[in-house]
A and B are shown apart, each in its own frame.
Chain A
């Protein structure tokens, strides 16, 4: 937490400023007037389902697409009319786009050639960059002989060697298997911290965005639905849509039955009347039709007989998803046929419940969220 605050203090300077960016392809408007500032040295993610406009937005920052309207400012300079090859950005493509007719070293050196460095210096810089991405000694390898992870590293080295102000990553990890993806996530984060370069990552993988980013913009239908730190987005999603896109969320219907200046009382489906502080409810929420959400880990399974909770109910296990460290139980709420998902950490020695068993679930009203 402390390190995050420190980082926030360094983030005064804006690196990328987007104002009112619009883009249509034919009749379809894919980016609908986005305003966004990304600070220097930030690891920023554009997160959203496919077709939400995140890749188009990234490509407009890179200069590979021209916005129909709006201004892209990078490092205090307007990029309008500046072509991709003149921008202080470099990109790691989803397909990696490794040149097949060049070997690893030639691929990494591709953008450097223009600088007409002495041969020895060029070689030295390429070797240093290969070392940084953990491809030491790969200079002469033909590029077709590389694995997916290695191609990814070459693409990264090729972009980073030009010392861009902003590195753009278009779903760089989506083609890798889970183990390699997790390893690359750590590595990207390490490289970003070492170099202090602004990274903008496009991803549809919410977990990846939560793990890697300083801030996330959740995008739907060409708009930013929510902008915030990973914790803000996970803990306080602004809408039902964001909440269901990030992690698992259970939703219940609710209705406001009374309110005063400091609190409101909501009648929540099968949980009964619950009082919430007034300010947790977004202002434009219609009070007749409220949506109440909670995450699987916010309800606790009362494992021991003597475990107590503020509220509790019993339910029969309808389904078990066993992940090793965690189990996710599908349960039904009392007096309702609605299913909810509750998780339990499988601390050593704990028993994993079977289908049909009855378990006690405890919850606190403060762990419920009220959403649009």
Chain B
């Protein structure tokens, strides 16, 4: 009897659990998992003019790896977004550090100020970069009027540099916040202890602050890296010919080239690339995370 009732409550409890997550689960399934499986299926099919040939085949993947342009685009996307990640994290860290250590009672105001760029749509901000970086743009005309250059710089717009600048600016707040949080979590007496044990400010930064902030830095890197690798708008608008990334090619396959299966295969391939690199990040972070779990 007792056994049965305990089984009953157990079942009831797990039912309650399912009922609670049921809605979000359905949401996640329909909007995340189902499309993903559809894409995987699509990538295994073949476009036959207007029809889809549903015989499973790996031909699309073979195409990707036998045409240098696709591999080149994936490589470029990875290197651009790795570079964006590096620049963003390097710029975000000092800001987060300043807010956390010297923000005092203005911390909340600083964090609020950081969100100001979001008040404008991303598209508008990219168009603004065009104005700033363009041939007759703000940067060039000021440098010209200061007689620092003789003719406008052309390497700052319509190439990979412009993509890096625009993306690094757009993603900075997402990098600042996790780093800020991890810096806030550092018990200040740790830094005093390091000083007391003989460390100069620089030494204690590298021996205590940086390792303890590492989880925040890694998550900042992931938050920036994962979305930027598949970014489509930025390269399209400021990337020019040499700044195009894999997402632009995927879009072409789905539309003009009328080869959705190849587009799907490209999407899955870049998804796998992101997954592999992110796992690398996480693996790198694991020793820090493990040591900090208390």
A residues lining the B interface (CB < 8 Å) = 62-64, 83-86, 89-91, 93-95, 97, 99-102, 110-111, 114, 142, 144, 158-159, 162
Q: Which of B95-103, B121-129, B190-198, B265-273 contacts A (4 or more CB under 8 A)?
A: B190-198
Residue from the list B196, B200, B207, B292 in contact with A62, Cβ < 8 A: B196
Give B188's nearest chain A residue, CB to CB.
A97
Q: Would you call B181 an interface residue if the criterion is a C-beta within 8 Å of the partner chain's C-beta atoms?
A: no
Tell me whether B291 and A91 are in contact (CB under 8 A).
Answer: no
Given A101-B291, A144-B293, A144-B294: A93 and B197 interface contact (C-beta under 8 Å): no
Tell me whether B193 and A91 are in contact (CB under 8 A).
Answer: yes
Tell me whether A101 and B211 are in contact (CB under 8 A).
Answer: yes
Tell me whether A64 and B194 are in contact (CB under 8 A).
Answer: no
Tell me whether B195 and A64 are in contact (CB under 8 A).
Answer: yes
Given A101-B292, A144-B291, A144-B294: A84 and B195 interface contact (C-beta under 8 Å): yes
Tell me whether B190 and A99 are in contact (CB under 8 A).
Answer: yes
11 further A-B contacts with Cβ under 8 Å, apart from A114-B199, A159-B196, are: A64-B196, A93-B189, A94-B189, A95-B189, A97-B193, A100-B291, A101-B292, A142-B291, A144-B293, A158-B193, A158-B197
**Alpha-carbon distance between A85 and B192 when the two chains are bound, in angstroms:** 9
Tell me whether A100 and B194 are in contact (CB under 8 A).
Answer: no
Residue from the list A63, A90, A142 in contact with B197, Cβ < 8 A: A90
Most A Cβ at <10 Å: residue of B190, B197, B212, B294: B197
**Alpha-carbon distance between A111 and B203 when the two chains are bound, in angstroms:** 11
Chain B contacts with A in 203-221, Cβ cutoff 8 A:
207-208, 211-212
Given A100-B292, A144-B293: A93 and B193 interface contact (C-beta under 8 Å): yes
Chain B proximity of A121: nearest CB distance (Å): 18
Tell me whether A110 and B194 are in contact (CB under 8 A).
Answer: yes
**Alpha-carbon distance between A94 and B187 when the two chains are bound, in angstroms:** 12
Give A109's nearest chain B residue, CB to CB.
B197
**Alpha-carbon distance between A85 and B196 when the two chains are bound, in angstroms:** 5
Q: Would you call B70 an interface residue if the criterion is a C-beta within 8 Å of the partner chain's C-beta atoms?
A: no
Tell me whether B197 and A111 are in contact (CB under 8 A).
Answer: yes
Interface size on B, residues (CB 8 A): 21
Q: Would you call B83 an interface residue if the criterion is a C-beta within 8 Å of the partner chain's C-beta atoms?
A: no
Q: Would you call B232 an interface residue if the criterion is a C-beta within 8 Å of the partner chain's C-beta atoms?
A: no
Chain A proximity of B64: nearest CB distance (Å): 42
Q: Would you call B288 an interface residue if the criterion is a C-beta within 8 Å of the partner chain's C-beta atoms?
A: yes
Chain A proximity of B218: nearest CB distance (Å): 13
Hey, which chain B residues are within 8 Å of A95, CB to CB? Answer: 187, 189
**Alpha-carbon distance between A299 and B50 when the two chains are bound, in angstroms:** 108
Give B287's nearest chain A residue, CB to CB.
A101
Chain A proximity of B199: nearest CB distance (Å): 6
B residues lining the A interface (CB < 8 Å) = 187, 189-190, 192-200, 207-208, 211-212, 288, 291-294
Tell me whether B192 and A93 are in contact (CB under 8 A).
Answer: yes
Hey, which chain B residues are within 8 Å of A142, CB to CB? Answer: 291
Given A142-B291, A144-B291: A97 and B198 interface contact (C-beta under 8 Å): no
Provide a sorted-by-A list of 28 A–B residue pairs whose CB atoms are within 8 angstroms.
A62-B196, A84-B192, A84-B195, A84-B196, A85-B195, A85-B197, A85-B198, A85-B200, A90-B196, A91-B193, A91-B196, A93-B193, A95-B189, A97-B187, A97-B190, A101-B211, A101-B212, A101-B288, A101-B292, A102-B291, A111-B198, A114-B199, A142-B291, A144-B292, A144-B293, A159-B196, A159-B197, A162-B197
**Alpha-carbon distance between A64 and B194 when the two chains are bound, in angstroms:** 11
**Alpha-carbon distance between A158 and B190 when the two chains are bound, in angstroms:** 13
**Alpha-carbon distance between A84 and B200 when the two chains are bound, in angstroms:** 9
Give B207's nearest chain A residue, CB to CB.
A110
**Alpha-carbon distance between A64 and B199 when the two chains are bound, in angstroms:** 13
Chain A proximity of B260: nearest CB distance (Å): 48
Hey, which chain A residues are within 8 Å of B195, CB to CB? Answer: 64, 83-85
Chain A proximity of B291: nearest CB distance (Å): 5
Hey, which chain B residues are within 8 Å of A91, CB to CB? Answer: 192-193, 196
Residue from the list A64, A100, A144 in contact with B212, Cβ < 8 A: A100
**Alpha-carbon distance between A90 and B199 when the two chains are bound, in angstroms:** 12
Hey, which chain A residues are within 8 Å of B194, CB to CB? Answer: 99, 110
Chain B proximity of A256: nearest CB distance (Å): 52
Give B208's nearest chain A residue, CB to CB.
A99
**Alpha-carbon distance between A91 and B195 when the two chains are bound, in angstroms:** 10
Hey, which chain B residues are within 8 Å of A85, CB to CB? Answer: 195-200
Hey, which chain A residues are within 8 Å of B294, CB to CB? Answer: 100, 144
Hey, which chain B residues are within 8 Å of A64, CB to CB? Answer: 192, 195-196
Give A59's nearest chain B residue, CB to CB.
B192
Hey, which chain A residues are within 8 Å of B189, CB to CB? Answer: 93-95, 97
Hey, which chain B residues are within 8 Å of A114, CB to CB? Answer: 198-199
**Alpha-carbon distance between A91 and B193 when the two chains are bound, in angstroms:** 7
Hey, which chain B residues are within 8 Å of A144, CB to CB? Answer: 291-294
Chain B proximity of A72: nearest CB distance (Å): 15
**Alpha-carbon distance between A107 and B292 when the two chains are bound, in angstroms:** 14
List the 10 closest A-B pairs by CB distance, nearest first.
A111-B197, A97-B193, A97-B189, A144-B294, A101-B211, A111-B198, A84-B195, A101-B291, A85-B198, A91-B196
